Amino acid sequence: GAVVSQHPSRVICKSGTSVKIECRSLDFQATTMFWYRQFPKQSLMLMATSNEGSKATYEQGVEKDKFLINHASLTLSTLTVTSAHPEDSSFYICSAREAGAGGYTFGSGTRLTVV
Amino acid sequence: GNSVTQMEGPVTLSEEAFLTINCTYTATGYPSLFWYVQYPGEGLQLLLKATKADDKGSNKGFEATYRKETTSFHLEKGSVQVSDSAVYFCALSQAGNNRKLIWGLGTSLAVNP
């Protein structure tokens, strides 16, 4: 079945630095990619939706200059957390959808800790 | 707007007990409905789905029926196992708007031996 590879699975970074998270669709073309943030014991919060080759659409309250999303190819999307601060520590999850297909495939998530 | 309401957890059951996790939704038209599962320390996995009224999704002994008259998609399993311990999320998607998913808050299930 469809697989989305998300890396890294865990990252610890210093406050003020930037962190890049990658999601790759391994056996299908991810025309749409969704980026989520999940707080402990809470549901997923959609941060942004991106279509290949287009600018991402951010949800209300999500800073687009802080959470940079690039979806330059049909198999790769990246989320860069810029100038990270401790409050950005969270679990980030990507999800990909192929055009015309009904399903969503999720990456295994990235645990970001900013110290 | 569209929304999903799930029963609050945590739910604690003994092995072989019957499980029901309630999910109701608010949406216009005919959304697709999903149950996702998140095992400890892992990402989300699709458990089952239904795309039209009266459809029944099933997988791994879990079932859920798309009930348009009650706008519900309750998750059931006749005999739970310890390995079913996880967080379960109900979600819906609609045509358009990139078909983004609308999520319930999740229900944590703990199954004791």
Average pLDDT over residues B21-48: 91
Mean pLDDT of B94-110: 83
Give the per-residue SS3 of chain B: CCEEEECCCCEEEECCCCEEECEEEECCCCCEEEEEEECCCCCEEEEEEECCCCCEEEECCEEEECECCCCECCEEECCCCHHHCEEEEEEEECCCHHHCEEECCCEEEEEEC
Query: What is the per-residue pLDDT for B100?
Result: 82
More confident residue, A99 or B25: B25
Largest CA distance in chain A: 42
- Across B15-19, average pLDDT: 97
Contacts of B99 in chain A (CB under 8 A): 32, 97
Taking only residues 4 to 23 of chain A, the set having a beta carbon closer than 8 angstroms to any beta carbon of chain B reads: 6
Give residue A49's pLDDT.
Answer: 93
Return the minimum-mean-pLDDT range out of B9-18, B28-37, B66-75: B28-37
Give the residue-averaged pLDDT of B54-59: 96
Q: Between A and B, how many CB-CB pairs are < 8 A? A: 48
Using the predicted structure, report yes or no on whether residue B57 has a pLDDT greater than 90.
yes
Across the interface, whether the CB atoms of A32 and B99 are under 8 A apart is answered: yes
* Overall average pLDDT of the B58-73 stretch: 97
In tens, the pLDDT along A12-42 reads 999 999 999 999 999 888 889 999 998 877 7
Q: What pLDDT is stored for residue A79 in this prediction?
A: 97
Q: Say how far apart CA B61 and CA B37 lie, in whole Å.
A: 13
pLDDT at B97 over 70: no
Mean pLDDT of chain B: 92
Is the separation of the CB atoms in A102 and A10 below 8 Å? no
The whole-number average pLDDT for the span B35-50 is: 89
Which amino acid is residue B62, in one-letter code? F
Residue A107 structure tokens: 């990456």
Q: How far apart are CA A83 and CA A114, in angstroms?
A: 10
Question: Closest-CA residue in chain B for A94?
Answer: B43
pLDDT for residue A101 is more than 70: no
Instruction: Return the residue of A nearest to B31 by Cα.
Output: A102
User: How confident is the model over B99-111, as a mean pLDDT?
Assistant: 90
**Residue A9 distance to chain B (closest CA, Å):** 10
Compute the average pLDDT of residues B17-38: 94
B23 forms bridges with which residues in the sheet? B6
Give me the pLDDT at residue A31, please: 87
Predicted confidence band at A102 (pLDDT cuts at 50, 70, 90)?
low
Residues A43-78 pLDDT 10s: 788 999 998 888 899 999 999 999 999 998 889 999
In the prediction, which pLDDT does A103 show? 76
Q: What are phi and psi of B82, to 5 degrees?
A: -55, -35
Two structure tokens written together for A59: 């949800």
- The answer to whether B36 and B47 are in contact (CB under 8 A) is yes
- What per-residue confidence (pLDDT) applies to B44? 87
A42 vs B36, B99, B105: nearest CB: B105
CA distance A15 to chain B (A): 24
Rg (CA), chain A: 13
Which residue(s) pair with B25 in the sheet?
B4
